[in-house]
Amino acid sequence: MNKKQAELRIKELREKTEYYAKKYYDDDKPEISDFEYDMLMVELRNLEKEYPEFQSSESLTQKVGGHVKEGFEKVTHEVPLQSLQDIFSLDEIDEFDNRIRKSAEENGINTIKYVVETKIDGLSAALEYKKGKFVRGATRGNGLVGEDVTQNLKTVKTIPMEINDKIDITVRGEVFISKDDFEKMNQEREENEEELFANARNAAAGSLRQLDSKITATRPLDIYIFNVQKIEGKEFNSHFEELEYLDKLGFNVNPVRIPCNNLKEVKEAIKKIGEMRENLTYGIDGAVIKVDDLKFREILGTTVKTPRWAIAYKYPPEQKETIVKDIIVQVGRTGVITPMAILEPVHVAGSTISKTTLHNEDFVKEKGIKIGDTVIIQKAGDVIPEIVKVVEEKRTGKEKDFEMPRVCPVCGAEAVREEGEAAVRCTGIECPAKLFRNLVHFVSREAMNIDGLGENIIQQLLDRELIHNISDIYELKFEEIASLKKNGKKFAQNLIDSINASKENDLYRLITALGIRHVGGKASKLLAKKYKTIDNLMNASYEELSEIKDIGEVMANSIREFFVQDQTIDLINKLKLAGVNTKSLQEENTDNRFEGKTFVLTGSLEKYTRKEAEDIIEKFGGKTSSSVSKKTDYVLAGEDAGSKLTKAQSLGVTIISEEEFEKMSH
């Protein structure tokens, strides 16, 4: 590579690493694996070393990759939260030790000890205590300036609000989500058709950096403390001594900390951590080697980005060969049909893998996976097994192509893939695979509003085979419901009353309850108002539907696909027989004072619930939105209005109080 080529490659690598770092640190949505990113950084670092004339303080080899997220207060760290230099071979550990020993000799230091710890795969945070009480917490950010996430950190159960000594201290730790909790989170997100977290680290980072601490509180965050950043009135000689003291204070200290007297013991510790890696309850992406003597650390000093007294050894991802014996499909609770590879069982990174998700048909095509292929498999983020690539040279010609089914394998309804989406979905509303989720939605507050019929009761009804489809709700007997609970007569009567009351609901609630893809509450009201009866809506053509303002082609197509299904027609007929109202009860409204106006609601309202305010706006022809933009006409601001109010002020959007809203709507 000549000088010009090196300059161009350095420029390209800087652009790539900046982009991938932003996706990883700021957006919490990585696009490449940690290993791939690390290899780009290694190449960039080596090129900058070989061609020092192209070095720059703006390169990610010289600075930490994160930025402060908009909406958070900035916190300047008194002691910078630096990152670590990564290494990938035992030879590089020798180089690190040689550099440390050379410095020790120059400074008359005879004994060098190290501490080896697990490098926890999470998000770094600084916790500040005054007189023993937790007063502030911040993310690392760019190392010098982070985000104030105090309220979010207060929701982490393993962070003590008061420690066992009334001192001023700032500590550093790693916020993470355990492997088991991460799997549970992703299972729930998959069932709810939410985007899956790529790995536990980004799940933890995204959870901690929520602008609403109530969301953070629902996430299973944990923390391990691994360093004293600053302390008043106490001095320590060694890092290991500091960690023991942090334990006594009541902190949740990194449990894997191995004192080492020499380089041999360091390598043994790294090997030991590598062997125990799979049995740890939390994810790690390496082992950290630190000089133990704190005074010697001060002599060694730091660069702009990294300390010279510590280094991080990264374990390579373990990969194994196996065979794809078959590709089957599974139907999830939301109707998504997912291909699954059945594998010749293989032991990877501590566990036996016999199957793995293939995500969707695009993934299968991109990887070129066929039934019978030999493939390379590894664990992504040490948790989720994935196929990395096909070993094409081992093909025999007997391999078979895989095709996604065009009908649901469970109920036989049409399986569709909408334009712009990767998922193939079952369209059958009576599909047994979707029944639980369909029932939960049907009875929900926004839909038929059947109070008392929660997820637990629905599951019991299914387990006892008291209901087999949605319409069976209206056939439930008093005695059947009462049997679900001890002394359940009062519960049964209340639920029967609620079921009967739901029969009188407006048509728009029934349309919402049917769970037509893309059709929410607002669209349901619009359709009920226009078509008046469920029969009229069922007979509406695609062309007619697509011309309705705020419906459009995607929703129109979804509505038509739904109502031509035999299962849909069967359900509607059963609901009619059960006495469920299928006509609009809405009175024709001629007052459209808010027509063409968009409102955003923020903060706590005193005179209205948010739903009541939205209903008033819609009643007079207006619309509500969840985000503020230049197209917003009014922001209705209650108490403790946050970032939406700030944005409205910056854009010059009209801000109204509850009193002003009341005058406008009366």
pLDDT for 70 equals 67
Give whole-number Cα distances, 39 to 361, 501, 617, in Å: 29, 63, 54
Domain shared by 48 and 21, yes or no:
yes
Contacts of 315 (CB under 8 A, 6+ apart): 274, 277, 285, 286, 287
Q: Once rounded to an integer, what is the mean pLDDT over residues 150-166?
A: 93
Q: Once rounded to an integer, what is the mean pLDDT over residues 68-75?
A: 76
Top pLDDT among 242 and 183 is at 242
pLDDT digits (tens, 9 = 90+) for 89-127: 889 999 999 999 999 999 999 999 999 999 998 899 999
In this structure, are residues 1 and 9 in contact, taking their beta carbons and an 8 Å threshold?
yes
At residue 618 the predicted structure's pLDDT band, cuts being 50, 70 and 90, is confident
Q: Domain for residue 404, yes or no? A: no
Q: Domain for residue 420, yes or no? A: no
**Pick from 383, 382, 390, 344: nearest CA to 364:** 390
Q: Domain for residue 147, yes or no? A: yes
Q: How far apart are CA 377 and CA 354, in angstroms?
A: 11
Q: Assess whether pLDDT exceeds 90 at residue 4.
A: no
Number of domains, the chain = 5
Helices 552-563, 566-577: inter-axial angle, 10-degree rounding: 70
Domain boundary among 313, 347, 371: 313
Domain shared by 290 and 329, yes or no:
no
Domain shared by 629 and 505, yes or no:
no
Contacts of 409 (CB under 8 A, 6+ apart): 329, 331, 337
Domain shared by 298 and 326, yes or no:
no
pLDDT digits (tens, 9 = 90+) for 587-601: 666 778 898 899 999
Q: Measured between alpha carbons, how far apart are the two ends of the chain, in Å?
A: 75
Q: Once rounded to an integer, what is the mean pLDDT over residues 40-53?
A: 86
Domain boundary among 577, 612, 631: 577
Q: Assess whether pLDDT exceeds 70 at residue 380.
A: no
Q: Assess whether pLDDT exceeds 70 at residue 66.
A: no
Backbone angles phi, psi at 343, to 5 degrees: -110, 155
Domain shared by 608 and 656, yes or no:
yes
In this structure, are residues 194 and 116 in contact, taking their beta carbons and an 8 Å threshold?
no
Strand ranges for 65-144 from DSSP E? 74-76, 86-87, 114-120, 123-130, 133-139
In this structure, are residues 458 and 465 in contact, taking their beta carbons and an 8 Å threshold?
no
Domain shared by 242 and 325, yes or no:
no
Helices 179-191, 200-208: inter-axial angle, 10-degree rounding: 80
pLDDT for 201 equals 83
In this structure, are residues 495 and 452 in contact, taking their beta carbons and an 8 Å threshold?
yes
CB neighbour burial string for 410-441, b if at least 16 within 10 angstroms, e if fewer: bbebbbbbeeeeebbbbbbbbbebbbbbbbbb
In a 13 Å sphere around the CA of 98, the CA atoms on its Cβ side amount to: 6
At residue 203 the predicted structure's pLDDT band, cuts being 50, 70 and 90, is confident
Top pLDDT among 252 and 611 is at 252
Domain shared by 301 and 330, yes or no:
no
Q: Domain for residue 30, yes or no? A: yes
Q: Domain for residue 416, yes or no? A: no
- HEC sequence for 156-221: CCCCCCECCCCCCEEEEEEEECCHHHHHHHHHHHHHCCCCCCCCHHHHHHHHHCCCCHHHHHCCCC
Top pLDDT among 303 and 126 is at 126
Q: Domain for residue 62, yes or no? A: no
Q: Once rounded to an integer, what is the mean pLDDT over residues 26-47?
A: 78
pLDDT digits (tens, 9 = 90+) for 537-585: 999 999 999 888 889 888 999 999 999 999 999 999 999 999 999 999 8
CATH number of the domain within which 255 lies: 3.30.470.30
Domain shared by 385 and 440, yes or no:
no
Domain shared by 566 and 644, yes or no:
no
Quick one: DSSP state of residue 149?
A: -
Catalytic residues: 119
Q: Assess whether pLDDT exceeds 70 at residue 653.
A: yes
- Dihedral in degrees, nearest 10, Cα atoms 230, 235, 236, 237: 120
Backbone angles phi, psi at 85, to 5 degrees: -75, 125
CB atoms within 10 A of CB 80: 19
β-bridge partners, 79: none
Average pLDDT, the chain: 89
pLDDT digits (tens, 9 = 90+) for 429-478: 989 998 998 999 999 999 999 999 999 999 999 999 999 999 999 999 99
Q: Assess whether pLDDT exceeds 70 at residue 350.
A: no
Q: How far apart are CA 278 and CA 26, in angstroms?
A: 28
At residue 190 the predicted structure's pLDDT band, cuts being 50, 70 and 90, is confident
Domain shared by 190 and 217, yes or no:
yes
Contacts of 132 (CB under 8 A, 6+ apart): 162, 163, 164, 165, 166, 167
Domain shared by 226 and 168, yes or no:
yes
Domain shared by 620 and 550, yes or no:
no
Question: Domain range for residue 626?
Answer: 598-664
Q: How far apart are CA 640 and CA 359, in angstroms?
A: 42
Q: Domain for residue 587, yes or no? A: no
Top pLDDT among 639 and 172 is at 172
Q: Is-above-0.95 flag for pTM?
A: no
DSSP string for 115-133: EEEEEESSEEEEEEEETTE
Q: Domain for residue 583, yes or no? A: no
Q: How far apart are CA 288 and CA 214, in angstroms?
A: 34
At residue 494 the predicted structure's pLDDT band, cuts being 50, 70 and 90, is very high
β-bridge partners, 87: 313
Show the tokens assigned to 304: 């702009």
CB atoms within 10 A of CB 556: 20
Q: How far apart are CA 209 and CA 146, in angstroms?
A: 11
Burial of 586 per CB tally in 10 Å (0-12, 13-18, 19+): middle
Q: How far apart are CA 348 and CA 384, in angstroms?
A: 11
Q: Is 562 left (phi over 0), alpha (psi -120 to 50) or beta?
A: alpha
Domain boundary among 279, 313, 347: 313
CATH number of the domain within which 371 lies: 2.40.50.140
